[in-house]
A and B are shown apart, each in its own frame.
Chain A
Amino acid sequence: MLGLDRVSKTYPNGTHALESFSASIPQGEIAVLIGGSGCGKSTLLRAIAGLDPASRGAVVLDGETITRPHEKIGIIFQEPRLLPWLTVADNVGFGLASTPAAERRAIVARALTRVGLPDKAGVWPRELSGGQAQRVAIARALVPRPEVLLLDEPFSALDAFTRADLQDHLLTLWADSQPTLVMVTHDVDEAVTLADRIFVMRPHPGRLFDEIAVTLPRPRDRVSTAFEQVKRDVLTSLNRSLDRTVPDREEKSLKGEAMWW
């Protein structure tokens, strides 16, 4: 269980990026954070990752408060961030330094096969396309078998076809061990395709505005009426989040949910 208890973040320069975000995300759920620019999505993700700990509130994973990067938490960034001096295989095995070499090679080979790149083990990252590089980044993050995988707009720089392909691929990989996924995206289609729950956020400071459960069965038909209906719900909520006359969700509901977990 990943618990976010009134997570707030104010940077040293005074920027108040995130205000009192609370949620409880059960193991294996796919949670998507969506919202306009400046609504604290990436700030929240970095707080969960332990890269930029919360100024106030707490991130709690299985009862343990997260204040620094943790072995149970993996992250995939917007850019693949592959280490250019390592081959693809060595990038994938980067988090397995303490694993015996033979075992590491076997794990890496399996992971590359799972992401559809078994023939790319020995090439340099510069020789990969954008989609291939992001697949390698996914493999690198999944190889240590994290309980929670964070994804910070990982497909935003890719073309629509590659993006849809990788979304499907991510779901296939997720099904292997079903880690909790927390994903930031600007893309409503992507959110509805992947999410069990969508958290709509609003800006200045970033905070939770709405929470939409997505109960469509997987694999999801992107052109079905039900899919379109959920998209409309999300878009409506996003529009309302930008309307300053609409009160925050927290203001409406916190009274009865102070002890939400």
Chain B
Amino acid sequence: MTAVEIASRPASDAAPVRGRRGRGALRRAALGLALPVGLGAAWELAVYAGLSDGRLVPPPSVVFATLWELAQTGELWVHTRATVLRVAAGFAIGVVAGTLLGALAGYSQRSREVLDPTLQALRSIPSIAWVPLFILWLGIFEESKIALIAVGVFFPVYLGVMGAILSVDRKIVEVGRAFRLSGPALVRRILLPAVLPSYIVALRSGLGLGWMFVVAAELLGAAEGLGFLLIDGQQLGKPAQIVAAIVAFAIIGKTTDWLIEAASAPFLRWEDRFGARAGAA
């Protein structure tokens, strides 16, 4: 924010705006929780009323009791930590590779002609098909799991970055040319801000796929991780543990997605799009 901009915003407006935003965030959180809480409550009542024994689909009280028990013994943290670290490593590798190659393919037509057909062909390979190869190449420990997650993250980020660069308005780029921006300055002052909204969407898609791929990776053999809890629950006949692991995935996945959304929000206040909240700027 520039000094001129700061000067133009009356200070007395700030508190009411913050208050409105806070109430809006609470309202959205309440609305977002209404559906899962409502479904959980309905299922809890159904089991309580004897309409189901809740054995294969345990009610929320049993699921949260299991989660609490896992947390008390420390198991939940061990498994969550292992899964989060795998996703973080795979996400970082996938994002870096997807961003670099997506930027290259988007910016340079020649690079796109060389890279894109191969990458599009690789994209259509089912994730599970990579597993035997990664195990052969990288072993059965962390490296193969991280590689699988990185593959899952890579493609949405690559496609998002390339598509975003290709769809930057030519007229906006021309403004940069008219002001004689150099190549790097054009990238920094025009292309990067222009692609940022699409890039954030690509990161969120990539992260979502990262969480999906970590389950596949952990199902294939892991001694730790939320995916291990799923397999363990299946083999030992503990549906509450399976649902507890699924709930943990949902909570952590949603939290990480929210973190990206929240971290990017200050940079996207300028957006003029359908669904933008009134007064967001």
Q: Are B271 and A84 in contact (CB under 8 A)?
A: yes
> Is B281 an interface residue, CB under 8 A from the partner?
yes
Residue of A70, A77, A85 with highest tally of chain B CB at under 10 A? A85
Chain B residues with CB under 8 Å of A126's CB are 270, 272, 281
> Is A227 an interface residue, CB under 8 A from the partner?
no
Contact A81 to B171, CB < 8 A, known contacts A95-B179, A109-B4: yes
Q: Are A87 and B2 in contact (CB under 8 A)?
A: yes
Q: Are A81 and B5 in contact (CB under 8 A)?
A: no
> Is B9 an interface residue, CB under 8 A from the partner?
yes
Chain B residues with CB under 8 Å of A49's CB are 178
How many interface residues does A have (CB within 8 Å)?
34
Contact A121 to B7, CB < 8 A, known contacts A85-B270, A105-B2: yes
Bound complex: CA A94 to CA B172 (Å): 13
> Can you sample 8 A-B contacts with CB below 8 Å?
A71-B180, A85-B193, A85-B194, A86-B270, A90-B2, A121-B2, A125-B270, A127-B281
Q: Which residues of B contact A (CB under 8 A)?
A: 1-9, 171-172, 174-175, 177-180, 185, 189-190, 193-194, 196, 269-272, 281
Smallest beta-carbon distance B165→chain A, Å: 15
Chain B residues with CB under 8 Å of A94's CB are 175, 179, 189
With A94-B189, A109-B4, A121-B4 given, can you name 11 additional A-B contacts, CB distance below 8 Å? A51-B177, A77-B174, A83-B172, A85-B194, A89-B2, A89-B4, A95-B179, A105-B3, A108-B4, A124-B272, A126-B270
Smallest beta-carbon distance B229→chain A, Å: 43
Bound complex: CA A77 to CA B194 (Å): 19
> Is A116 an interface residue, CB under 8 A from the partner?
no
Chain B residues with CB under 8 Å of A68's CB are 180
Smallest beta-carbon distance B17→chain A, Å: 13
Q: Are B270 and A77 in contact (CB under 8 A)?
A: no
Q: Are A121 and B172 in contact (CB under 8 A)?
A: no
Minimum CB distance partner of B281 in chain A? A124
Q: Are B178 and A75 in contact (CB under 8 A)?
A: yes
Partner of A122, one of B9, B171, B175: B9
Bound complex: CA A77 to CA B3 (Å): 28
> Is A79 an interface residue, CB under 8 A from the partner?
yes
Contact A69 to B179, CB < 8 A, known contacts A83-B190, A109-B4, A122-B6: yes
Partner of B8, one of A74, A86, A123: A123
Contact A122 to B8, CB < 8 A, known contacts A81-B172, A127-B281: yes
